[in-house]
Amino acid sequence: MTESEARTVDVFSRVSPAVAYIQVAQLASAGFSPKPMEMPAGAGSGFVWDMQGHIVTNFHVVSGGQRALREVPRRVRVSLSGGEKQIDAEVIGYEEDKDIAVLKIDRGAVPFVPVEVGTSSDLRVGQTVLAIGNPFGLDYTLTTGVVSALGREVQGVSGRPIKGCIQTDAAINPGNSGGPLLDSRGRLIGVNTAIYAPGGTGGNVGIGFAVPVDTVRRVVNQIIRYGPNTRPTLGINVLDDALRVQLARSLRRPLDGALVVEVIQGSPAAAAGLQPSERTPFGETVVGDLITAVGSVRISQNEDLLCAVEEAEPDRPLELTIARGGDSRRTQKLTVTPVARKSVRAAGTGMGGTRWGR
Once rounded to an integer, what is the mean pLDDT over residues 23-36?
Answer: 72
pLDDT on residue 67: 58
Return d(Cα 213, Cα 49) in angstroms, integer. 12
pLDDT in tens, 105-145: 998 778 889 999 999 988 999 999 999 988 777 788 999 99
Which is higher by pLDDT, 28 or 52?
A: 52
Once rounded to an integer, what is the mean pLDDT over residues 303-326?
Answer: 86
pLDDT in tens, 3-15: 999 999 999 999 9
pLDDT on residue 41: 76
Query: For the chain, how far is it from start to end, CA to CA, in angstroms?
Result: 54
Once rounded to an integer, what is the mean pLDDT over residues 285-290?
Answer: 93
CA dihedral sign, ordered 281, 282, 283, 286:
negative
Once rounded to an integer, what is the mean pLDDT over residues 322-337?
Answer: 94
Catalytic residues: 60, 99, 177
pLDDT on residue 158: 74
Give, in degrees to the nearest 5, the angle at Cα 252 between 250 and 256.
95
pLDDT on residue 241: 86
Give, in degrees to the nearest 5, the angle at Cα 197 between 193 and 198.
150
Which is higher by pLDDT, 233 or 293?
A: 293
User: Alpha carbon of 95 to those of 23, 56, 123, 222: distances in Å?
Assistant: 19, 11, 24, 10
Confidence grade of residue 294 (pLDDT, cut at 50, 70, 90): very high
In degrees and rounded to multiples of 5, residue 287 shows phi and psi of -70, 130
| 186 Rama sector, left if φ>0, alpha if ψ -120 to 50, beta otherwise | left
Average pLDDT, the chain: 85
pTM: 0.74
Please provide the size of the chain in residues. Answer: 358
Burial 70-107 (b: 16+ CB within 10 A, else e): eeeebebbbbbbeeeeebebebebbbbbbbbbbbbbee
Return d(Cα 90, Cα 44) in angstroms, integer. 16
Identify whether the C-beta of residue 79 lies closer than 8 Å to the C-beta of residue 87.
yes
pLDDT on residue 348: 40
Once rounded to an integer, what is the mean pLDDT over residues 215-242?
Answer: 85
Domains and CATH numbers, the chain: 12-104 (2.40.10.10), 128-226 (2.40.10.10), 232-354 (2.30.42.10)
pLDDT on residue 351: 41
Residue 70 pLDDT greater than 60, yes or no: no
**Percent of the chain, pLDDT > 70?**
86
Nearest partner of 46 among 145, 132, 144, judged by Cα: 132
Confidence grade of residue 263 (pLDDT, cut at 50, 70, 90): very high
Return d(Cα 148, Cα 128) in angstroms, integer. 10
Once rounded to an integer, what is the mean pLDDT over residues 287-302?
Answer: 93
What share of residues in the chain are helix, strand, coil (percent, to 5)?
20, 40, 40
Residue 255 pLDDT greater than 70, yes or no: yes
pLDDT on residue 282: 81
pLDDT on residue 275: 95
Once rounded to an integer, what is the mean pLDDT over residues 241-261?
Answer: 92
| 342 Rama sector, left if φ>0, alpha if ψ -120 to 50, beta otherwise | alpha
Could you tell me where the DSSP H helices lie in 130-173?
Answer: none
Confidence grade of residue 271 (pLDDT, cut at 50, 70, 90): very high
Once rounded to an integer, what is the mean pLDDT over residues 159-172?
Answer: 87
The residues, any chain, with a CB within 8 Å of residue 241's CB and separated by 6 or more, are 301, 302
Return d(Cα 176, Cα 179) in angstroms, integer. 6
Once rounded to an integer, what is the mean pLDDT over residues 278-289?
Answer: 87
Return d(Cα 326, Cα 345) in angstroms, integer. 26
pLDDT on residue 353: 45
pLDDT in tens, 73-92: 678 999 887 666 889 999 99
Once rounded to an integer, what is the mean pLDDT over residues 290-299?
Answer: 94
Confidence grade of residue 174 (pLDDT, cut at 50, 70, 90): confident
Return d(Cα 79, Cα 88) in angstroms, integer. 9
pLDDT on residue 201: 54
